[in-house]
Structure 1
Amino acid sequence: METTNEKLREEFSLRLKKELERMGLPITSPTRIAAEFSAKYPGNKIASQTVRKWLFAEAIPTQAKLVALAEWLEVSEQWLRFGTGRRRVVKAADAVHTLGERGVAVVVGKNQAAVVPVVELLAKLSPKNVRLVESMVRCVLASQNEDE
């Protein structure tokens, strides 16, 4: 029977392979993966033997390596290590940033850029009116969910 640690290593390995393939890296070449990782993270260099161990479910990265690996693969550390939580991480380059008049930073995904002007207008409202608008939005959402 498989031990818990073996199962965790196998599941990590599957997630790692999937993400490496998504990035277009050959999972059959630990040397290339190690070289590209080490070039991007010179302070966290890895050997091809280390990558091979990860790919063959013989080991899981140390926390420092896991953090860098997750950043490189653009996934959350928790998802990469345990398969739980949010998989993808929103990178700053994939987000639209704006600064409202009151110094409030608003970050939304590229596909939701249309909400930025609405949020900027909301930032001008009094707290009482923000609550009123929130109630209205909740009513619209409830109605929308009933229609679906």
Structure 2
Amino acid sequence: MNEKIEFTQRLRAAMTQAGYTVSPSVLEHEFNLRWPGKSISNQAAWGWLNNRSIPTQDKMQVLAELLKIPPDVLRFGTAVRLSVQEHKKRWDEGAGYLERETFDAFLKLPAAQRKIIREVILTFAKVHSAAAKT
């Protein structure tokens, strides 16, 4: 599905969930009450609600606060948030003290040496993956 369509669906659902009428004029008014910059137009709010545009990140933050929804969920949806959380959990659970110490040392290496180490690790991972499949 198109990312503008998905954003519009999330925006409309969040407005409904927050108790607002899904309307460009309502969105324009409520947004402008909270936005410290130049006011948005009714046309801009209409574009957000009708698959025409996605607000910039600073405006997304204000929309998220207005609608009481995390900005990343408003912008990308819950599936992306869950995927990021799962990846973070895997990283946190899979890396112990020794691995973290190794990562810190790796990050201190010059770029050329990091590239070599990365290639070695990826080669080992490919070999291990291929061996696991047989």
TM-score w.r.t. the length of structure 1 is 0.49
Alignment of 1:70-81 (within 5 A): 70-81=64-75
Which residue is equivalent to 2:47? Answer: 53
Q: After superposition, give the CA deviation of every residue in 1:8-65 in whole Å (9 maximum; x if it has no partner).
A: 00000000000101122111x2112211111122436321111110111110001110
Which residue is equivalent to 1:43? Answer: 37
Q: Runs (4+) of structure 1 moved beyond 6 Å?
A: none
Rounded to whole Å, the distance in 1 between the matches of 2:75 and 2:13 is 13
Rounded to whole Å, the distance in 1 between the matches of 2:38 and 2:51 is 20
TM-score w.r.t. the length of structure 2 is 0.54
Rounded to whole Å, the distance in 2 between the matches of 1:70 and 1:36 is 12
Between Structure 1 and Structure 2, the one with more strand by share is 1
Which residue is equivalent to 1:62? Answer: 56
Q: Tell me, which stretches of 5 or more residues in structure 1 are unaligned?
A: 87-148
Rounded to whole Å, the distance in 1 between the matches of 2:38 and 2:9 is 22
What is the letter of the counterpart of residue 52 of structure 2? E
| Equivalent of 2:3 in 8, 25, 29 | 8
Q: Is the 8 A contact 2:18 2:68 kept in 1?
A: no
Between Structure 1 and Structure 2, the one with more helix by share is 2
Higher relative contact order (CA 8 A, sep 6+): 2
Which residue is equivalent to 2:107? Answer: none
Which residue is equivalent to 2:76? Answer: 82
Count of paired positions? 80
Give the 3 Å change call, closer, same or farther, for CA 60–39 of structure 1 in structure 2.
Answer: same
Rounded to whole Å, the distance in 1 between the matches of 2:48 and 2:31 is 14
What is the letter of the counterpart of residue 64 of structure 1? D
Give the 3 Å change call, closer, same or farther, for CA 44–69 of structure 1 in structure 2.
Answer: farther
Q: Tell me, which stretches of 5 or more residues in structure 2 are unaligned?
A: 83-134
